[in-house]
Structure 1
Amino acid sequence: MTSSTTRKPSVLKKGVPVDSDVLTLARERLSHVFDLHDHVAVSLSGGKDSTVILNLTLEEARRRGRLPLRVVFFDEECIYSENIEYIRRVAANPDLALEWYCLPVKHRNACSSNSPYWSPWAPEDQDRWVRRLPPEAITELPGYDAADPEHRKSIPEISGLLFPPALGNCAFILGIRADESITRRRAVSFRTTDNYIVKHNSGYGGTGKVMGWGNLWKAYPIYDWRTPDVWLAPKLLGWDYCHVYDLMDKIGISPSQQRLAPPFGEEPMQGLHQWHLIEPELWFKMCARVPGAATARRYARTELYAFGDLPQRPAGLTYEEFLTGLIEQKHEGKIRAQVAKSVRGFIRQHFNKTQEPIGIHKEHPQTGISWDFLLKIAIRGDFKNRKQPRLGHHDDATYAKRHAAYLAEVQQYQADLAAERAQQETP
């Protein structure tokens, strides 16, 4: 049995106290990025984080005389009108060279287990597009063949194609922040030097092999910013921003929950109700555009999508048997095989670290894995390879307390399962 004195440490590093404020640090990081790279571009979604990096990078580009600054915007079709207006205001700035891509890329659709992906601007769906193609649209990217829907790529996978070798060493600046998800924190936790600069084909996440020439690095200069920092900067420095956030305020969405993201992923779809409230006409078209969207608006926070209460294990079945049946019931074909493979991978991950059984509701304190965690994977899938168990920093006393609670739950489960099976065998 693994004890608190022999357990392996978490892969996540604790934060290191610094004397500088986050704005100063971000500016220093951007200066370093410009020093290291021949070509720098900004990824802009219109959201609050990308707004911050746009303005900070523009400051540095002006200081160095490296204008116009290249800005890349992937239009994901189902976006707010205010978002479009903000992007057009950005494009009007002569110090910026904005590229407006409207490509049929692969997006996650967590609203439907039968249709787990969808593609904005897919030519085969043109009669159901929620908007007309904007006049600024760039509809082709050299090296990306989107004709076959089965082999379309995600935006991270094709980003490397934007940076041909003639540009030299390139940096793509992204508004990734560590406090938004454990996966994003991991992306900047493995190195102590230049941890905010990573090779384009490295790190967590992604749905497959990236496309490109190997000359691209991603940079996260505001990775240590918190939500209040992100909103304070535009106020203090007078930056423009996407005013859909004002509408989110009016309908009662807190700043920490406000997101501009592809709306149909696992986490974003919990906020689908806001689209109905903010832009009803657009929402009506979105329901016809993406399978399961209307259902997800009503039930995204329920057991149906593995939020809130999870389905109960049937009496007499082990959790492994329960998950196997659930995957068979929820998914079909290649999707079923993919979800089953993901669940098996997490089970192997657990037993590679400890021989103790997987917990039920309480995660094993060494692996962060529980049957509840695996249930969510079985129902929602893990199509972006982003789901990771939560691992914290435990001193010996905390670890021992959590481990004791985990053991008590496992022992109760084993006793319950034995009693259920004995009752089933009774004539």
Structure 2
Amino acid sequence: MGINKLPLEQNVLEASRERIRWVLQNFSRVCVSFSGGKDSSVMLNLTAQLARELNKKINILFIDWEAQFSHTIEHVERVREACRDVTDRFYWVALPLTTQNGLSQFAPTWQCWEPGVEWVRQPPEDAITSPEFFSFYTLGMTFEAFVTEFADWFARNRPAAMMVGIRADESYNRFLAISSLRKLRFADDKPWTTAAPRGHAWYIYPIYDWKTADIWTWFAKTKTPYNKLYDLMYQAGVPTRYMRICEPFGPEQRQGLWLYHVIEPQRWAQMCERVSGASSGGIYAGQDNLFYGHRKLTKPDHLNWREYALFLLDSMPEQTAEHYRNKIAVYLHWYEKQGMTRIPDTQPGDAGAKDVPSWRRISKVLLNNDYWCRALSFSPTKTSSYKRYSERVKNKRKEWGILCNSD
């Protein structure tokens, strides 16, 4: 069954203010996730305004990725100061977190603030850098695991709101995060709420129905300061849909790496020393070429897509190849259980956002360095259980007869 978009009688600003007011009135603990980008800046400013009106306090979570533009850090510091009067606690997190590195098959993940290495920059003096600060934290845990555990920790066994500034029109996955009919909502009339995976926290998406034009219209009309990095991106010719302000090395974010070279050459030099593949990513990731299989997919004429995927696996470092073989085997076995003895070599829509199974889609995952295989509907595996998971799936591959040495 399809999901229809139903227009509201209110404009998006009025609707968002109503949602945020409801959150502040119904949750004793509220935390705003802030990245320094345009969307979370709008959400945080609206929340701070209403918190002043209602005489409420909020908390703010900012995850510092170490390799970030100076403009972003300066903007975060300005916003922190502007919201100080309504802030109970500003969690400036500068702990080692593991995330995807879409630039290298030899180092498919990287860890910000990794111990024992030279960092791109130093964290602020008041940032959270002690591993003991959070009772749930384990060294190098994934970003996804951290935000899930943080929500549970922040709730303290009581209902709490984690406000997230995602918008449904940004990507298909974000649209599903809002519109899914299977998720647990706070109430049927609040589709912009989602129960956290564990504990008592709720994710709130108060600006989910804003368009990019709405965001910039709000900044223009209110004269509210924004991250000036966007001006530099605009001057450099970056389309608004590709402007990203977050960790820089993922499959989507890597397209903006070349801007570091232009805007902050000294920081770019440090990033190239710090992260495997950064230099080549700066050259190729922002170009409309075939290097990462981002926009166009091609293969040698003498190979079909299954053969090409197997060729790509054989050309990778063995540890990385085994990781992908495990994920792909689980993927293929799932479709076997659905009655599809063999997924097709290619089919319409298999290179798009929706998971349409084919060997061409698998090849795209491999070319794209999609280490967590998100395009195959996987989520990151927890660092603490990854080794056990890998060994278990490797044994299952032999049982299933999928992607064994004879393949």
Q: TM-score of the superposition, structure 1-length normalised?
A: 0.77
**Percent of counterpart pairs with the same letter?**
30
- Alpha-carbon distance, 1:190 to partner: 1.4
Q: For residue 290 of structure 2, what is the aligned residue in structure 1?
A: 303
Q: Aligned partners of 1:179 and 1:340: how far apart in 2?
A: 33
Q: 1:256 offset after TM fit, Å?
A: 2.4
Distance in structure 2 (CA, Å) of the matches to 1:360 and 1:245: 39
Q: Distance in 2 between matches of 1:36 and 1:344?
A: 45
Q: CA deviation at 1:330?
A: 2.4
Aligned residue for 2:346?
A: 360
Unmatched 5+ residue regions in structure 1? 1-8, 202-212, 390-427
User: How do residues 136-285 of structure 1 correspond to structure 2 at under 5 angstroms?
Assistant: 136-140=126-130, 141-147=133-139, 149=140, 152-161=141-150, 163-166=153-156, 168-191=158-181, 193-201=189-197, 214-285=199-270
Aligned to 2:103: 111
1:98 positional shift: 2.1
Which of 15, 23, 26 does residue 25 from structure 1 map onto? Answer: 15
Cα distance, 1:155 vs structure 2? 4.8
Distance in 2 (alpha carbons) for counterparts of 1:383 and 1:37 = 37
- Once the two structures are superposed, residues 37-82 of structure 1 have per-residue CA deviations (whole angstroms, 9 ceiling, x without a partner) of 2210111110001101101111221222112x21111111111111
> Could you state the TM-score of these two structures normalised by the residue count of structure 2?
0.80
RMSD between superposed Cα atoms in Å: 2.6
Aligned to 1:405: none
Structure 1 Cα separation of the partners of residues 92 and 273 of structure 2 = 25
Which residue type is aligned with residue 80 of structure 2? A
Shift of 1:135: 1.5
Structure 1 residues 310 and 274 mapped into 2: Cα distance closer, same or farther (>3 Å)?
same
Letter in 1 for 2:64: D
Q: 2:315 aligns with which of 329, 344, 360?
A: 329
Q: Distance in 1 between matches of 2:330 and 2:260?
A: 35
Amino acid at match of 1:332: E
Q: Is the 8 A contact 2:299 2:305 kept in 1?
A: no
Rounded to whole Å, the distance in 1 between the matches of 2:317 and 2:293 is: 14
Structure 1, residues 244-303: CA drift from partner, whole Å, max 9, x if none? 111112212232221102110001101211111111111111111100000111122433
- The whole-number CA distance in structure 2 between the counterparts of 1:384 and 1:26 is 33
Residues paired across the two proteins, number: 360
TM-aligned CA distance change 1:292 to 1:357, over 3 Å? closer
Contact 2:100/2:371 (8 A) holds in 1: yes
* Larger RCO (CA under 8 A, 6+ residues apart): 1
* 1:133 aligned to which of 117, 123, 127: 123
Q: Does the CA contact (< 8 Å) of 2:163 and 2:206 recur in 1?
A: yes
How many angstroms apart in 2 are the aligned matches of 1:136 and 1:370? 49
**Contact 2:16/2:206 (CA < 8 Å) preserved in 1?**
yes
User: Residues 340 and 378 of structure 1 are in contact (CA less than 8 Å); yes or no, is this contact kept in structure 2?
Assistant: no
Unaligned 5+ segments in structure 2 are 182-187, 378-407
Q: Any conservation in 2 of the 1:199–1:218 contact (CA below 8 Å)?
A: yes
- The answer as to whether partners of 1:104 and 1:146 remain within 8 angstroms in 2 is no
- Give the structure with higher Rg (CA): 1
How far has the Cα of 1:353 moved from its partner? 7.7
8 A Cα contact 2:158 2:200, kept in partner: yes
Q: Secondary structure at the match of 1:343?
A: helix
Q: Deviations over 1:98-137 (max 9, x none)?
A: 2211110012111101101111111121xx2111232221
